[in-house]
Amino acid sequence: MRVLVAMSGGVDSSVAAALLVEAGHEVVGATMKLWGGTSDRGCCSVGDVEDARRVAQQIGVDHYVFNFSDDFERHVVDPYVESHATGSTPNPCIECNRHLKFDRLIDRADQLGFDAVATGHHARIVQGPDAQLWLARGADSAKDQSYVVHMLGAETLPKVMFPVGGMTKQQVRAKAVALGLQTAAKPDSQDVCFISGSGGRSAFLSERIRLRPAKVLDEAGSFLGEVPAVEMVTVGQRRGLGPAVGARYALSVDVQAATVTVAPADRLLVSEVRLDPVFWVREPPGGDESLLAQVSAHGEPVPARWEAAGRVCFERPVRKVAPGQSVVVYRGDLVVGGGTAAY
């Protein structure tokens, strides 16, 4: 097969490319230039592009750089800013996967005559009990990334490969060491690539929207203090809300009214969440089916069921999911679908 490998400059995508070469595929590496602004961390820095190029040279494959910065600005950066401006908490990595790595890149691969696109995500594509292809959790539960690639639908799965999905992270690094790859000891990226380490979110957002101070209130409406920017507060947050808040958390954020309401931790427990929009890998599950719901990238899956009204109902209360965050629904290790918390 002709496979276009998304090489971010990290160890996972480096080993993914090397494994495909070993398996006899015709491999070409591709690094996506996504962020056109200043970047000193994440997967968009000049150093990451250079690391990917060097690994491609080491394993003997061609390496392309695709400039998708306009698409990235439109589908990832602009919605990120808009979410903060309206009181939601965005997940830019999920939107990048949705629109860039598994949309724009697959389109480019099709145009260039490739059979598939591969990435270094810790997820698997497996044959389910129905003999159909399904997205599944990666073999390393501590590094599983099925949550952030849950948007892959039935029509896309045949075009995608996850070569390291059946490996542990330790095995990936051992393979990189054995091959002498440039990225063998490189630490994992944990940050949003377009947010600089020096300025942070506030500097980034303040250049694009007006950040406004807000009152911090308890549920009875009593004034407890102020925060410098209501757009920077997320549901469930405790730090940075002022000393008078004590052992209370942000229960709701009202950007229009410039208020943050705080409450004790038990007031953040919910038994359901409405999702909008919702995405299913294949067909929606039945309302009586026992499922698992995951409300964060590495959160503990919670037994749940799906209601046709667009709600995930948890069998035990969970911490309130911030509006804008994703909830992913599983059938065992198989991804059934997911959506965005909307309430």
Which residues participate in catalysis according to the annotation?
96, 193
- Three-point CA angle 187, 188, 191, nearest 5°: 120
Residue matched to tokens 């440039």: 182
Spatial CA neighbour of 311 closest among 283, 280, 271: 271
- Give the HSE-up count for residue 58: Cα atoms under 13 Å, Cβ half-sphere: 21
Q: Which amino acid is at 215?
A: K
* Whether 162 contacts 150, CB under 8 Å: no
